[in-house]
Amino acid sequence: MHIDSVEQARNAGEQLHHFHGGLHLRHNKKISCETPLAQVPLPPLLFVPLLQQYGGEAEATVETGQKVLKGNEIGCFTHLGGGCVHAPTSGTVTAVIHRAISHPSGADGCCIVIEPDGLDRWEELEPIPNWPDADPALLREKIRNSGIVGLGGAVFPTAFKTDDAARQGIHTLILNGAECEPYISCDEMLMREQADSIVLGARVLLRATGATRTIIAIEDQMGAVNQALKQAVKSAGDDRIEIIKVTTIYPEGGEKQLIQVLTGLEVPSGGWPVDLGLLCQNVATATAVARAVVEGKPLLERIVTVTGNGIRKPRNLVARIGTPISDLVEQCGGYANDVARLVLGGPMMGYALNSDANPVIKATNGILALTARDIRPLQAEMPCIRCGECARVCPAVLLPQQLNWLIRNEQWDDAAEHGLADCIECGCCDFVCPSHIPLVSWFRFGKSELHALAIERKQAETAKRRYEAREARLLRIQHERRQQLEEKKQALRGASGKRKKLAEAISRARQDRKQ
């Protein structure tokens, strides 16, 4: 990296910048922030999916009929540094089944079904004593074993990112509190009510990664949050932590967009924040880190915003992983009479659910119930008029109209060269398109096709290498056989020559005796 970029990244937050595009949207958050956080009661059954982080499913480590304590490991990941899924309460495993798991694809997945015993008994907790002086590797191992992932929505394993940050060496930790998605306010309520835990998590992450400073980025309209965090930092007496207010514009809460606002630098295409000496984590992730290290508690629950005009009493709730969404809705007074659609997440990046029997997962930041009035009438898709509005608002500085054409014409290599992988699926292009083209849906399809093509090419390359290795082996065997045959022929010629010489010697001896 150029030395000027290194210095610019080190000065993150001293001057605010802008990212390309974005939208000014109505936030609709106030209504869900008027009531304090409340815990959702234990349901009769918990359905804990084994797909709880980026990548594939965990492998179940429990069986039907097995008793578990709160915090027991019930699943183990083998990818991206590993990690675990834990029992959200004590009880009995009644089944290991496939069912709906609140996944964007709508596909079913493996779930551990736990019947609570009502005692909520913890396993023996193992916090790390004197963590400020502990080995950073020990802290990162605790983060991994506690099943902590990015709680902003991406659910990327936190231990993988902290290991990478420690290995490459970073100078700045960014805690992302810029919750820009409309309606979603779970991070705001966390920062209001549990600011001390966020600051504690920041201090733990500083120790775990070797960073020297922390920026907690919040939106400029979060007055109560700013006050709570400042008081928490003051109480901690840690001058390495700074709170910075950023302009409220969607999707400023995106990792790359927030980094650009704070530093003026773009994370390279295909690169990571650590390439700039930065590590970005969600504020809720920092709280989970604090609880894991200081209290020994794995990630078993999260704050969920239950809101929308289809909910009678919108609010934020603390829900255990595996709790049916219907239980959260019931605690919020149930549905309004004209509810028409249930969405997991916000209106821009969320996805519709077929049923409220789906469980809360680690990625569940919000449940949005929409009425018919909230849903834009389905418009017939029209041809692209090349107005350029999608390119104007794209925060990733892409050409959505061109990508759309390339994907529809299956020009996958060109789509990859035009940055399809850099699309963050924020929905800005969909929002402004006058032709009502479902661009994000096409981009998701294109990404899946690129992924499938990459797998196919990898398999073809593997098959090619195997074929070439087989041909080389057959040629080698053929050459060895020829050599062996030639050696045998030479040996036979040698033996024949010896027999001929012997016969001549015998003949001469006989002639000598006759004479």
Does pLDDT of 27 surpass 60? Answer: yes
Alpha-carbon distance of 289 to 298, in angstroms, equals 9
Phi, psi of 132 (to 5 degrees): -60, -20
Among 273, 307, 341, the domain boundary falls at 307
Residue 352 lies in a domain: no
pLDDT in tens, 167-218: 999 999 999 999 989 999 999 999 999 999 999 999 999 999 999 999 999 9
Q: What is the mean pLDDT of the chain?
A: 92
pLDDT in tens, 331-381: 999 999 999 999 999 999 999 999 999 999 999 999 999 998 898 888 899
Same domain, 259 and 168: yes
Residue 507 lies in a domain: yes
Residue 251 maps to which CATH number? 3.40.50.11540
In order of 39, 215, 320, 352, the CA distances from 332 in angstroms are: 12, 34, 16, 19
Alpha-carbon distance of 210 to 291, in angstroms, equals 20
Same domain, 143 and 256: yes
DSSP 295: I
Same domain, 158 and 301: yes
Same domain, 131 and 226: yes
Q: What's the total number of domains in the chain?
A: 2
Asked if 76 and 138 count as a contact pair (C-beta separation under 8 A), the reply is no
Residue 31 lies in a domain: yes
DSSP 404-450: HHHHHTT-HHHHHHTTGGG-----HHHHH-TT---HHHHHHHHHHHH
What pLDDT was estimated at residue 53?
87
What pLDDT was estimated at residue 86?
97
DSSP 52-86: -SSSSPPEE---TT-EE-BT-EEEEE-STT-EEEE
For residue 422, give its domain range.
384-515
Residue 392 maps to which CATH number? 1.10.1060
In order of 80, 150, 154, 210, 409, the CA distances from 160 in angstroms are: 6, 11, 13, 15, 37
Among 307, 336, 352, the domain boundary falls at 307
- Give the DSSP H or E segment for 263: helix 255-263
Same domain, 394 and 501: yes
Among 258, 278, 307, the domain boundary falls at 307
Token pair belonging to 445? 């399809």
Q: Provide CB contacts within 8 A for 98, sequence distance 6+.
A: 108, 109, 110, 111
